[in-house]
Chains A and B, each alone.
Chain A
């Protein structure tokens, strides 16, 4: 330092000041870099233009997750994404957004996310390394010549796909676009039927009769959000009628629960039924188009034979066939994952024929097809596995693919991966596959990066970062761009330096707009470009292939395994999110674990009770999990849901439940391409251990209490005027009525539209900072969900003999009663009636007597038994508008009071009255079937005021005179049993 050089050791003024500055600067620097958290909030010196504290920003973006991605609007508060709702401009999602998509926020704030590149050191551990050196290592690896390289990604589309293709070409990698559910058989069947190897959009909304051969289109099939919306349209009441939905499956699924007729079928016999129906149509000359001779032994499938093969009565088959032919517009669907057995290809072809001969092919929309058909064939995956097992693969690059989890153990994928000399992963979490990698270049979360996604032809979603990246990671696109030009030979250079630039140029070349700036900004604002083709191509069945259907000699006593893809975890990727783990599976209401569903009669025979640990064994593997007994399934079927049983993948997913994939043989079925998801000859054995199965709902019977009510279609349409006159008397009350001077909020839920998908439940967690309590506490009856989906079933002895399993789903939330029983009993006024009809909770005043909950007739209040903490950075998702409750106090649905206030503030700023529909509650904002309506009951012309006067409208437990503000529309039944 200059100070030292000074003669005599005396400081002059200049040096003194210099030294002072140096010391001061050092102090500033050291305090600025201090890892200690700041305990003071400091306001911006120069505030960013687009951030007003307290006012949220909304960004349109997309989540590029298969099967079709989701166009969403993300609510961002002070730089943190806190809520995801659907993009209303997106023609597919129709503003609905599934639980899984919403929970991607928890993927963003996942405490187990990889924060920087990891590199396997000499000791064999993964240790952190800087991005610079990680990319160097990667580059060096790529420049090693003559390697057998594989690149396995999910079904990437759009610009990233283009870049990945270019990259893999350059490094000479074989690319596999691996999807756990590729629906390859549908594409292949369509190729065989129509010469188009594509997966069309099925316009079920235009049908009035929907026949589904085990397709779970409300859960995971192709595009569940889209089909939920379409189904709501098809199935809702219009002009005095509504569509009819028939589901054929061996085990009741969430989709089947919505069916007007539910037909239990022997597993893996969908093809026989389809052929039986075609043959019936043929014999009775009901066909409108000529029946192709694709199936040579069609005439074998007489009614009687089909009936014995499928286990469905001849009358039922006849009825289905007649209804199908006689309805003005019908469609049959096939190709669900659970039923992709040996005959998967032929089944889809047969159903195509069925649609063809009844002249219903107009509902196949090949112009707006799903790009899922671009996923690689399963056979390529098997080829890769063989090469790897033989030790012939030198380098593997994976991105968004987890074959170590999603392929059966019998394929020895783990062993195969170990034999690969070097593995690079772009995964942002340590899952079963990336755990084995030698180098991990963690991708950014989609909410932090630029990109695009095309799930469906013509719909190109634009992905934009909605917040600053949590960690200094690079997106896959950026990683590849930064390394691409360094790969030998250095030709075919990419000139763009950033992925954003690359993306923009890509969009420029696709759309070549006159003004790119305007186009780009509009696309960003809209969330992408939505060009849906409307052209109608004439489609006709033109296959020349011939099939002879072999009838499997069923061994009779064999037990079949029916694996259901989970609408919560999809193929297992959702398992590390606590919202999804705590979202009860609708039909069983279990959480946080796996279970095996067993027919109650079979269980009785085997002396199995609910909660028993049961060994489920095939010749390929064995899993042990708890039994759940169900009446709504065939006795020759057992069912396990997919998604759990991770051996890695973060603290929430690891060692939880079982993975039923390991029971499969993993071989490909004939020429149809897919993995065989069915398994015959399963054995189940009691282990002797028992534990209480953790469920949310204990009683599935309504006990004649008419909680979830139904109404017969004839009753609405016909002149069934109930005798209201005379009975109607003036209601008198000792107490004065409340005055609602301005607003009186009310909610209406259409039980006919509600499918029980649980999107509303997750939205409520996300909006209202509801704590996740974990398996043990749910087992103690302490889940905190403000909104629960209750499901009830009739207590019939034999579900299999009835036309349908009367499953009723009802979202249960605070009813905001006018005569609320909870209000007068609180000794400290912690809950009271506000002037807008809301039943409000004052958290800070609550002392926790819990009297309010005891007196609540609907039991919708939740108590904070503990202080529920969430590990950082999950807490970043918390909504700053809603108090995080401390322990010892009561909480419940607030009708999203904060959203009401926000809407009122805007109206006040604009000096106008609130518009009808301006206040949208969280649950309402995500509902794919638009079953929830919220509004002002004081407003005469509001939607809600009209709905409460509907014939179908009713309130829960009316006889208690609590006068709820929540009303329900009765579920419509075709025929009342």
Chain B
């Protein structure tokens, strides 16, 4: 790359980011309104469900968890890779994270905000959701700490808190930069508050980098814990197909896998629209693609292990369950998952494919679909065929559930659309770190 370009990059970074925060174009508005229509439909579905009863969802005995819990696990999974990219890769000093980690972190926060809705949406009496919180009350009622659902409450809320704090801390210097350039009283005031009075002094920088490091250390175990806990919702139950020790690592790997795919899904259009080719480079996509191959292998290995154990354990219920997955009522979903998660990612072994953004985008979408079905398969197929043959039944999602699912995507994208227009989607400070500092004499001694 020529030095002039490098110099331009360095000087343009502020400009580029600021450009993203200008008055939105009609294009942005139309997408945003389009998104809000879907969100409104999702909200309508939820209100309809609350008024009429949970029966408007497609639940059918014995499948009492369905699309909502699938959505919950899916979004928690998506939430995963944000922290992974920002915290874990930060600790590993992986440079390819620099330009995408802000997007990934935002994705995390919004995905958790989306995931957190589903345990409430799926309740029979959602207006009593706060009973799941251990708060002192005059009725002397307490929660059951034995229940994995309660662990979920803590795991998800902790994760939401930490990832949000981490997200905002990372943005402080960038927000300060925006504050300095932005026009308009309200905007200025808002960014001033968010920048926490950042001045960019040496002392601030050294404290800040240390704090960021500690937060990264603190967030890293959460990457493992949150999805492990979510997996315990299933692993702690006695249902065949759920009751297995492989679930925590399997879920964590799956979550990273789906999260990376989601980051790619978000980055490619963003890069195109805002012309960020200089910052989100092929190097970034290369790095993520390779991690996708790795996690895909782990996930696929877990699929095979489940089958092996089902056969090797000689446990009839387990055995029947996996036969049913492969050739039962939901076989189509199962093989869709196998194809999307086990086969498709291996195309990424080829550099040509990794560097073809159109194909990469399609692959990332397929992985998202596959990972949604993975959760669906685990939850629904296991429940459909448990111990007692007389109770077996088949579940079909209703339009209300699908409406709320679509609404949840709209909810997520609504935040994301607001985010790219209000907060720095690229980390100005960190991108500058990896760029060579342009000298007045035109030379560079960075390398």
Stretch of A136-144, A338-346, A777-785 lying at the B interface:
A777-785
A859 in contact with B61 given A827-B150, A865-B54 (CB within 8 Å): yes
Bound: A783/B147 CA distance, A: 27
Q: Is B402 an interface residue (CB 8 A)?
A: no
A782 in contact with B61 given A826-B144, A887-B54 (CB within 8 Å): yes
Q: Is A697 an interface residue (CB 8 A)?
A: yes
Bound: A845/B65 CA distance, A: 20
CB atoms of B124 and A887 under 8 A apart: yes
CB atoms of A854 and B65 under 8 A apart: yes
On chain A, the residues within 8 Å of B62 by CB distance are 781, 853-854, 859
CB atoms of B53 and A865 under 8 A apart: yes
A960 in contact with B387 given A827-B144, A847-B124, A857-B238 (CB within 8 Å): yes
CB atoms of B59 and A865 under 8 A apart: yes
On chain B, the residues within 8 Å of A957 by CB distance are 387-388
On chain A, the residues within 8 Å of B392 by CB distance are 698-699
On chain A, the residues within 8 Å of B387 by CB distance are 705, 857-859, 957, 960
Q: Is A315 an interface residue (CB 8 A)?
A: no
Q: Which of B122, B129, B149, B236 gathers most chain A CB within 10 Å?
A: B149
A676-714 interface with B by 8 A CB criterion: 697-699, 701-705, 707
On chain B, the residues within 8 Å of A699 by CB distance are 389-390, 392
Q: Is A863 an interface residue (CB 8 A)?
A: yes
Would you give the shortest CB distance from B48 to chain A, in whole angstroms?
13
Q: Is B237 an interface residue (CB 8 A)?
A: yes
On chain B, the residues within 8 Å of A907 by CB distance are none
Q: Is A128 an interface residue (CB 8 A)?
A: no
On chain B, the residues within 8 Å of A894 by CB distance are none
CB atoms of B386 and A703 under 8 A apart: no
CB atoms of B124 and A850 under 8 A apart: yes
In the complex formed, the residue of A with least CB distance to B124 is A848
CB atoms of B237 and A825 under 8 A apart: yes
Q: Is A888 an interface residue (CB 8 A)?
A: yes
CB atoms of B123 and A847 under 8 A apart: yes
Please count the residue pairs between chain A and chain B whose beta carbons lie under 8 angstroms apart in the complex. 159
CB atoms of A854 and B64 under 8 A apart: yes
CB atoms of B53 and A851 under 8 A apart: no
On chain A, the residues within 8 Å of B122 by CB distance are 849
Out of A790, A827, A848, A855, name the residue touching B54 (CB < 8 Å).
A848
Bound: A611/B62 CA distance, A: 22
CB atoms of A847 and B389 under 8 A apart: no
CB atoms of A697 and B55 under 8 A apart: no
A707 in contact with B390 given A825-B147, A888-B124 (CB within 8 Å): yes
CB atoms of B53 and A867 under 8 A apart: yes
B126-167 interface with A by 8 A CB criterion: 128-129, 131-132, 141-144, 146-150, 153
A866 in contact with B53 given A707-B388, A828-B132, A960-B238 (CB within 8 Å): yes
Q: Is B403 an interface residue (CB 8 A)?
A: no
In the complex formed, the residue of A with least CB distance to B234 is A854
On chain B, the residues within 8 Å of A845 by CB distance are 131, 141
Q: Is A824 an interface residue (CB 8 A)?
A: yes
Q: Is B202 an interface residue (CB 8 A)?
A: no
Contact bitstring A576-614, B, C-beta under 8 A = 1, else 0: 000000000000000000000000000000000000000
In the complex formed, the residue of B with least CB distance to A781 is B60
A697 in contact with B124 given A854-B64, A887-B53 (CB within 8 Å): no
Out of B58, B144, B389, name the residue touching A792 (CB < 8 Å).
B389
Q: Is B305 an interface residue (CB 8 A)?
A: no
CB atoms of A824 and B144 under 8 A apart: yes
Q: Is A807 an interface residue (CB 8 A)?
A: no
A855 in contact with B123 given A824-B147, A828-B132 (CB within 8 Å): no
Would you give the shortest CB distance from B118 to chain A, in whole angstroms?
12
Q: Is B78 an interface residue (CB 8 A)?
A: no
In the complex formed, the residue of B with least CB distance to A960 is B238
Q: Is B320 an interface residue (CB 8 A)?
A: yes
Would you give the shortest CB distance from B193 to chain A, in whole angstroms?
37
CB atoms of A855 and B52 under 8 A apart: no
In the complex formed, the residue of B with least CB distance to A962 is B238
In the complex formed, the residue of B with least CB distance to A780 is B60
On chain B, the residues within 8 Å of A827 by CB distance are 132, 143-144, 147, 149-150, 153
B379-417 interface with A by 8 A CB criterion: 383, 386-394
In the complex formed, the residue of B with least CB distance to A779 is B60
On chain A, the residues within 8 Å of B236 by CB distance are 825
CB atoms of B388 and A859 under 8 A apart: yes
Q: Is B125 an interface residue (CB 8 A)?
A: yes
Contact bitstring A445-457, B, C-beta under 8 A = 1, else 0: 0000000000000
CB atoms of B64 and A858 under 8 A apart: no
Bound: A848/B57 CA distance, A: 14
CB atoms of A854 and B239 under 8 A apart: yes
A825 in contact with B149 given A781-B61, A854-B383, A888-B124 (CB within 8 Å): yes
On chain B, the residues within 8 Å of A791 by CB distance are 390
Q: Is B316 an interface residue (CB 8 A)?
A: yes
On chain B, the residues within 8 Å of A847 by CB distance are 123-125, 128-129, 131-132
On chain B, the residues within 8 Å of A853 by CB distance are 62, 64
Bound: A865/B56 CA distance, A: 8
Q: Which of B53, B150, B389, B390 gathers most chain A CB within 10 Å?
A: B390
In the complex formed, the residue of B with least CB distance to A852 is B64
CB atoms of A812 and B388 under 8 A apart: yes
Bound: A863/B147 CA distance, A: 19
CB atoms of A821 and B238 under 8 A apart: yes
Bound: A859/B122 CA distance, A: 19
Out of B55, B124, B390, name the residue touching A777 (CB < 8 Å).
B55
Contact bitstring B243-254, A, C-beta under 8 A = 1, else 0: 000000000000
Bound: A957/B389 CA distance, A: 12
Bound: A824/B238 CA distance, A: 11
CB atoms of B123 and A828 under 8 A apart: no
Q: Is A864 an interface residue (CB 8 A)?
A: yes
A855 in contact with B239 given A824-B146, A825-B149 (CB within 8 Å): yes
CB atoms of B124 and A705 under 8 A apart: no
In the complex formed, the residue of B with least CB distance to A812 is B390
Contact bitstring A816-856, B, C-beta under 8 A = 1, else 0: 00000100111111000000000000000111111101110
CB atoms of A848 and B123 under 8 A apart: yes
On chain A, the residues within 8 Å of B64 by CB distance are 850, 853-854, 863
CB atoms of A855 and B238 under 8 A apart: yes
On chain A, the residues within 8 Å of B383 by CB distance are 854
A781 in contact with B393 given A848-B54, A854-B65, A855-B237 (CB within 8 Å): yes
Bound: A848/B149 CA distance, A: 12
Would you give the shortest CB distance from B44 to chain A, in whole angstroms?
19
Bound: A887/B386 CA distance, A: 26
Q: Is A303 an interface residue (CB 8 A)?
A: no
CB atoms of A705 and B53 under 8 A apart: no
Bound: A699/B324 CA distance, A: 14
B36-76 interface with A by 8 A CB criterion: 52-55, 58-62, 64-65
Would you give the shortest CB distance from A693 to chain B, in whole angstroms?
14
In the complex formed, the residue of A with least CB distance to B242 is A854
Contact bitstring B101-129, A, C-beta under 8 A = 1, else 0: 00000000000000000010011110011
Q: Is A473 an interface residue (CB 8 A)?
A: no
Would you give the shortest CB distance from A774 to chain B, in whole angstroms?
11
Would you give the shortest CB distance from B50 to chain A, in whole angstroms?
9
A702 in contact with B65 given A847-B125, A847-B132 (CB within 8 Å): no
Would you give the shortest CB distance from B394 to chain A, in whole angstroms?
7
Chain B interface residues toward A at CB < 8 A = 52-55, 58-62, 64-65, 119, 122-125, 128-129, 131-132, 141-144, 146-150, 153, 233, 236-239, 316, 320, 383, 386-394
Contacts A/B (CB < 8 Å), 19 sampled: A698-B394, A699-B392, A780-B55, A781-B61, A790-B390, A792-B389, A810-B390, A827-B150, A829-B142, A847-B128, A847-B131, A849-B123, A859-B390, A862-B61, A865-B55, A865-B59, A888-B54, A888-B124, A956-B388
The 4 closest A-B pairs by CB, nearest first: A848-B124, A865-B55, A888-B124, A781-B60
Q: A699-B389, A827-B143, A828-B144 are in contact. List 4 more A-B contacts (CB 8 A).
A: A781-B59, A846-B125, A847-B123, A863-B124
